Amino acid sequence: MKSSKSEFDLQNKSLIGRSIVTLDDLSIPQIQELLNKGRYINSHRKEVAHTCDGRVLATLFYEPSTRTRLSFETAMLRLGGQVIGFAGADSSSAKKGETLHDTICTVSHYADAIALRHPKEGAALVAANSCNIPVINAGDGGHMHPTQTLADLATIEARFGSFDGLTVGLCGDLTFGRTVHSLIETLCRFGNIKFVLISPKELTTPQYVLDRINNEPTCSYVQTHDLMESIADLDVLYMTRVQQERFFNEDEYLRLRDTYVLDEQKMREAKSTMAVLHPLPRVNEIDTRVDNDPRAAYFEQVENGMIMRMALLSSVLGDQLQGYEG
């Protein structure tokens, strides 16, 4: 027991002060540790309520958000810390022409950690290189969204106990859906996953993400346009919204946005144990009547998002969760 405790200490130390641009910035044991911490936090809310006393988190959101920003903020508040920030580039000095580098550098003198959402791919990496405090990527354009993946992993693990051997369908906008890219990247590292990539031909998975699957011998994928062809095989069905804001052509968006609508009739063809995930917001992709189906896991995902952000924030700040033994 003693030696595993000191291993935990080492592992935990190595997260302190680190920026998280993608989950590749964490080892698999560190991701597993975050999942363990998440379970602990969920059942020890009072004990952890002063973990980050005196800390300040800055949430800098240059793009719209409901869940990600509010869950980051709630996570910090529930750990005893406080929050500053802005929810829109127009209310920041970006409007006056300030560079991201200068804004991040400035805020790093006020806050202990930054959660950044930005429309440009690579913005989180630029920010991480612009300051000496942890920057957590809360979504950079169509690239990555690592903390959503932590929420997704916690939700899948709660339903299935592990990721091993799962058939995971991802459906919708696989080109611009950053949550999809982050999730595939990370599940590949756990290994032994069959991916079913379901999208219109205009919105297929980028090659760099397919390469991740190709490079992992225990993982495989099929690409299809037909949700019903594969729904009966799936353990997880991850629905996504067509990312209107990343389209150049409004007509194209209108033509594609309702390609897949998961409804009660389609759910009848799925396994009784299948879990339906969606990072939200949904537009039309899931009929609201599916919400009452026990297989609908997307509001569990919302709660897991807050919990996993609590786990991550306390870890990068190096603040110990009271009573957590590792």
Cβ neighbours of 265 (radius 10 Å): 10
Helix (H, G, I), strand (E, B) or coil at 202: helix
Considering the candidates 46, 96, 201, 268, report the single residue annotated as catalytic: 96
Under a CB-based contact definition with an 8 Å cutoff, are residues 313 and 57 in contact? yes
Determine if 309 is a binding residue for ligand NCD (CB under 6 A). Answer: no
The stretch near ligand NCD (CB under 6 A) out of 25-33, 107-115, 120-128, 273-281 is 273-281
Nearer to ligand NCD, 37 or 309 (CB): 309
Determine if 194 is a binding residue for ligand NCD (CB under 6 A). Answer: no
- In the bound complex, what is the minimum distance in angstroms from residue 109's beta carbon to ligand NCD? 28
CA distance 174 to 200: 9
The stretch near ligand NCD (CB under 6 A) out of 38-46, 224-232, 276-284, 314-322 is 276-284
Out of 280, 296, 306, 311, the residue judged to bind ligand NCD by CB under 6 A? 280
* β strands within 199-301, DSSP E: 220-224, 236-239, 275-277
Determine if 148 is a binding residue for ligand NCD (CB under 6 A). Answer: yes
What are the distances in angstroms from CA 192 to CA 112, 131, 206, 219? 38, 38, 21, 5
DSSP code of 206?
P
Helix (H, G, I), strand (E, B) or coil at 223: strand
47 burial via Cβ count (<10 Å: 0-12, 13-18, 19+) = middle
User: x/- contact string, 204-243, with ligand NCD (CB under 6 A)?
Assistant: -------------------------------------x-x
Nearer to ligand NCD, 48 or 187 (CB): 187
Measured in residues, the chain has a length of 326
- Whether 259 is catalytic: no
Under a CB-based contact definition with an 8 Å cutoff, are residues 133 and 219 in contact? no
- In the bound complex, what is the minimum distance in angstroms from residue 64's beta carbon to ligand NCD? 8
* β strands within 244-316, DSSP E: 275-277
User: x/- contact string, 43-72, with ligand NCD (CB under 6 A)?
Assistant: ------------------------xx----
Q: Tokens in use for 242?
A: 């067509």
- Whether 117 is catalytic: yes
- Whether 273 is catalytic: no
Task: Please give the positions annotated as active site.
Answer: 67-68, 96, 117, 145
- Contact residues for ligand NCD, defined by CB under 6 A: 67-68, 139, 145, 148, 178-179, 241, 243, 279-281
